[in-house]
Amino acid sequence: MKEIIKIDHLYKSFGDVKAVHDLSFHVKEGELFAFLGVNGAGKSTTINIMCGQMSKDNGSVIIDGHNLDYDSDAIKRKLGVVFQNSVLDAALSVYDNLESRAALYGIVGKVFRDRLSVLSEMLKFEDILKRPVGKLSGGQRRRIDIARALFHNPKILILDEPTTGLDPQTRKILWNVISDFRKTENMTVFLTTHYMEEASEADYVVIIDDGKVSAEGTPLELKNDYTGDYITLYGISQDEIKLLGTEYEAIKDAYRLFVPNTRAATEIIIKNPELFHDYEITKGKMDDVFLAVTGKKLVGGVEK
């Protein structure tokens, strides 16, 4: 699988602030890549550089074989971008917004209408095409943002916290559409999010802090490296749980043990079979990974 995005030794400073400092990572074609960090970690700066909206101080950015230093226009044609803040014109209708955007890529007439028909059905906005964008709800507007980014069949879709504040139904619609495009078009998705359940679905994760990579790997690799497992036991007394000699906490109708890994969990169960009548083993979550790596908790994109 080829690497469609190659960022090597990227630097960007604003005065004395090093927003991105010797940042390097690669993204494989067709994968869902999660780029995580609190506000100020350097995520948006990196994205703005990739999109040609901000100059870099040093380093290399190569996207689908094109060097940003020499062929930024070709790179822009490869990208579809959904920014944190909508870039739609609030005074124009949904139809007019998408028509003007499509025209920039030479998508006009019947080709435009056919593409609009497909996207409006997938994203479920057929009934609001004539409505001014300024009159839309947040979820409706986000669907149009996604359609705008997908109109020209980009090879890479950049999603900068695309589902923040959306209701579960809208989030599900958006992810179903994105999943379909990944399967049918082999589209690469570059995601920033503060919803760790979304990051858990990624093929590969990079966590940055202070403009540098702090950890990277698949979600499973990161969970194995930075968190342990949990054993949740039901129908057991506190006196019995104390016999295991393992750190635990009381939760509703159960007790939860913390163990370093699945092998340790298995050993405890084998040694104490009489206590394990009703239990489950779960791995740590990406929230635990993020906290372990950065020492910070990600809540709504804000450092805690």
> In the chain, what are the domains?
3-217 (3.40.50.300), 228-284 (3.30.70)
pLDDT tens digits, one per residue of 226-245:
998 999 999 999 999 999 98
pLDDT tens digits, one per residue of 122-148:
999 999 999 999 999 988 999 999 999
What is the reported pLDDT for 298? 54
| pTM as predicted | 0.87
Q: Amino acid identity of 152?
A: H
What is the reported pLDDT for 294? 86
What is the reported pLDDT for 304? 38
Query: For residue 68, how many other CB atoms are within 10 A of its CB?
Result: 21
Q: How far apart are CA 56 and CA 10, in angstroms?
A: 7
Point out the residues of the chain with pLDDT beneath 50.
301-304
What is the reported pLDDT for 299? 52
What is the reported pLDDT for 163? 85
φ, ψ of residue 40 in degrees (nearest 5): 90, 0
